[in-house]
Structure 1
Amino acid sequence: MNTVPALVQRIEALRAEIRMHNHRYYVLDDPAILDAEYDRLFAELQQLESQHPDLMTPDSPTQRVGAMPCAELGVVQHTVPMRSLDNAMTDAALAEFHQRIVAALALPESEPIVYTAEPKFDGLAVSLRYESGVLVLAATRGDGTRGEDVTHNVRTIPNVPLRLLGADWPEVLEVRGEVYMPRDGFEQLNAQLQQRGERLFANPRNAAAGSLRQLDPRITARRPLRLCVYGWGAVTAEIGDSQSAWLQRLAQWGLPIAPELQCVTGLDGCRAYFAALGARRETLPYDIDGVVFKLDALAAQVALGATAHHPRWAIARKFPAQEALTVVEAVEFQVGRTGAVTPVARLRPVSVGGVTVANATLHNLDEVRRKDVRSGDTVVIRRAGDVIPEIVRVLVERRPTDAPLIELPTACPVCGSAVIRAEGEAVARCSGGLWCPAQRKEAIRHFASRRALDIEGLGEKLIEQLVDLDWVREPADLYALRIEALAGLERMGEKSAANLLAALERSRETTLARFIFALGIREVGETTAQLLAEQLASIEAVQSASVEELIAIKGIGPVVAERIVQFMAQPHNREAIAHLLAAGVHWPAVVRSAEPASAAALPLAGKTLVITGTLSQPREVIAARLQALGAKVTGSVSKKTDYLLAGAEAGSKLAKAEALGVAVLDNTALEELLARLHTDL
């Protein structure tokens, strides 16, 4: 034998590495590499052994499925070996598999080849043995010939029948399937573990494996496991002619099979099923990593037989890897539209699922700490569908010795305002509010919204144009816009520009409550804004209020008070408010609810008014003007109503007012009344 020593060393190194990974994967439930990397190592070893059969040894990983079972659980000898499946990583490999089937069966071209097609669950393979219809034994696959006894745990899985349905089942029936954890159950389990401060599972497959191999079945019973049956072992009965028909028979006995199970014809049928399931992959309630195709005719399966590793009549067409290894080159902080300061990992570019990935979200600093991510770390990243890739876990054993901890910045990386993380909150935020460029578009959108300053015609697309052109940096800049410039924008014209300017002009007169709400202070909604307006009566009083003064207002708690003080403490926000006032935004004086004596002396004191229909100003603005003169504004007409202010399309309230003899004012009459009353004051 004249074999190159380097080749022998490579084969032995591959065997040693694969054995180690088998042990990590099957016994410790702590894989050190991704499935795609393992598949590449295994394929390389298979190729070298096929090219040099004189180097084949009985203990090579290619001659058996996995690792030895865990010694802590009982050992079960499989009556029929549980073989693994050959993998097709590409469409070309799937085509080669089909051509081998055609050649081996020597079928005429006109005779179609039928395959069963079903999803390849990402879980843990098991064998269940039923005797006289009763579950008596369950075992993991182990090394393919011997597995671990997990009967006590499998009995806790809710969709595993402890006794088969019907009465015509075989005396002995062994079924093979996959124990998996649905995605929603996995998320709930990790949430519970995080609450208890325990180690989280990296993915549903690890969670299923760890749950099934518990020594205490009470722990397994609390885990959301499920079973899907895809095959069988020993059976003391005739099982018919086809894979699909027998699986349907198993389903009739109460054994769960894949709802996506189908029969497809030929290579084109396999390709179509693979593409269709791949398109639905992210919508499925469980993780799958490929599709399994099996010859449907059982006689053909017998004729083709199996290798020591896999059956020749089945193959797993794998989806592109959704996980990959790469290095975190830096961690930066981004500021979102609402001010959230989010850490983002800048990665050494790597291909995941056919897409080059260079960034991954880290969500917040708690997530950074939980996963212990640092610059320079080697990490596993995952990309599912079109969502932003995330870091699944860190390979701490590859960490550089000088890898620094990631710290939250104290100042916004965009505008320099203070970054604030409230106690008990996961997300930190820039306090720049109205000033921060990262928040401009959202701030302007909120400022112009219907329940804020109600600037009709100022939609998101137009806001984006105005901000991108740098015409609007803060809300006050809206009032400096000119018709000539606006008319030249996309989807605008002179008429649209004139309408927008008219809406801006109307918005200059508002209410203090609307103005406060329009500022976009976190946690300050319409109700809180109304409380501030009623109790403090001026924007200057809101700006100077302390946390203690704000908490003294009924309905305002410490968190909201802190938010208001933090917002008003930022010089940029105070400047933006001053610029709005200088631009002519104003409101009627507010009568403080704590001053009933002065309110009684006002000209409309004791008068009740109702507002209905479409008017020249928002109802809240008109109501505030009336309330400033002492009036009570209600929502329904009655005998106690003194005036009904009726705009266009007044409806039933106008009819009721006329029937009751209530005085009715239109917009012109109201303005005349208000002007006269102001003159009298």
Structure 2
Amino acid sequence: MPENIQQKIEELRTELHQHNYNYYILDEAKISDFEFDLKLKELQELEKNHPEFYDANSPTLRVGGEITKNFPTIQHQFRMYSLDNSYDFDDLEDWEKRIIKTINEPVEFVAELKYDGASISIFYESGKLRQAVTRGDGFQGDEITANVKTISDIPLTLKGDFPTQFFMRGEIYLTRKNFDKINARREEEGLDLFMNPRNTASGSLKMQDSAEVRKRGLSAVLYQFISSEIPAETHWELLQNSRKWGFKVSDQAKLCKNLDEIKAFITYWDEHRHELPFEIDGIVLKVNSIKQQAQLGYTAKSPRWAMAYKFKAEKVETELLTVTYQVGRTGAITPVANLKPVLLAGTIVKRASLHNEDIIKKLGLHEHDFVYVEKGGEIIPKIVGINEEKRKSDSKEIEYITNCPECGTELVRIEDQAIHFCPNDLHCPPQVVGRMIHYVSRKALDIEGLGAETIEQLYREKLIENPADFYTLTKEQILPLERMAEKSAQNIIDGVEKSKQIPFEKVLFGIGIKHVGETVAKKLAKNFNSIDDLKNATAEELIQVEDIGGKIAESIVNFFKDPENLLMIERLKSYGVQLEKGENTNEVISTVLEDKTFLFTGKLSLFTREAAEEMVEKHGGKNISAVSKNLNYLVVGEKAGSKLKKAQDIGTSEILDEQQFLDLISN
């Protein structure tokens, strides 16, 4: 009898896997949804009654339900490189010339759509999905296997003659239709709408309940076979084989014999991309020959045999409805244009950033103007021009507000700065909340469980008004908050207690003295043994500290003149927060970088910017904040931009990649 049940279970699994393949890969459904659901329920019932026949890749796991509270960090066996970008055909011609010069033989390419989603690496062994890991920093990522198994485009078991072990790389994304469905549900529930499909897809992958991930309706496309042994001579052949094994591969990919065919492919999709049911932001080009790929190799951050062509920003016209103003943590006022909804780059745009009063005046913005809106890689688009021909004769020019929209305090504008500020920093609600959010942030006190939403709730309930209030919270006060459980409340209490061990320099950064950023806080902590020493310092004494100018010195002196700030400091001291320098604050490991200045730019993958700057200081070097003739080394990560260009123009700085920086220290 058990043998018959096991056979029935295996037959149902095989049949359902095949129906999934027919529907999602071949787009040829053989049975109705109703019939599929009946078979799935039959299998679920059999598996429930006979757990001894459990299979981690059963089709029933597509529905989710597994809860993952922590996503372990996994080292990538094969690094997930990023791609170099190009924005015009001249770049592509230069790229092709470099390739031909290196390999000295004819080259053909594969052109693929650049899906706008989240990268994933999936490990298959003996035809079974074993593990799925996010891109992370390229060297390591988060394991999200349970969530990935809920995505129907990704096969749990493979078909045909496949290699024993390999990785498939791909992109997980949301179709426009499913993205709109999610936002429609959120609107009904009174929740904030998601900004775009890419960020929503990425965030969905880290949800703790895989059943909720399933509801998001994520899609996937697989585009790269990775293994130490490649069972084909070309990338194109690998794509076709992958499709036979059960992977969803892009139908739009094309084998191109020359650059003219590539240009035609790019031009077509630049014009027709919005006809696709999903978003793309460019085209990916790869050398087809696996042998030639190996000859070309890699730079420190990207393969030489691949290139991403990015589409230029799009522009549309729509009507300006109103201008509203947001107050930031530091009191900076940001004007926002509220627009008549318009489709731009595949999403509905309702708002655009106006940045400051000078931008509004430069645009000459009037009420109900028809404006040109551009979205160039930003979440919030920006206004780039006005159609003055459509302006009404009685339209009034937009006048910048004079008082804070939150607390009514008269705004100030500091000379030589473009932004207006609300000076009521201790009582203006967004500033008060922002100050407390800053205090608990990772680079400051790093208090677990106290996110922005929780802090806002605590403030609304009048339980906290400044950072010292965190240390008086009780579990009984926290538990009644919305979506707060016993363990979450205890985590907050424990996190607050743990923060009492955070060193002086981080506390100094966390209390939020204007103009005292992370680097300045470190300099102050090196030169003043305690918060009391800093409080008693004169502006003249402060200016003697390296990198402390008159503006920062004045801000520090003014901070300690305020009785409310002094009371907060005294309370923090009484609760045991570290407001004196510890023994190892000035620890220097070596002087190998002595008298050398460093600046880091771009996205770092071997270490964080914080860790990099700490390494510089611990080896006797100095971090500076801008490119100048005084800069000795510019260390560049991925997508380095204006700072790299300026350093190249000046020509006095040595440019290093991350590994060369580490080599410099080790030498």
TM-score (norm 2): 0.40
Higher-Rg member (1/2): 1
Q: TM-score, normalised by structure 1?
A: 0.39
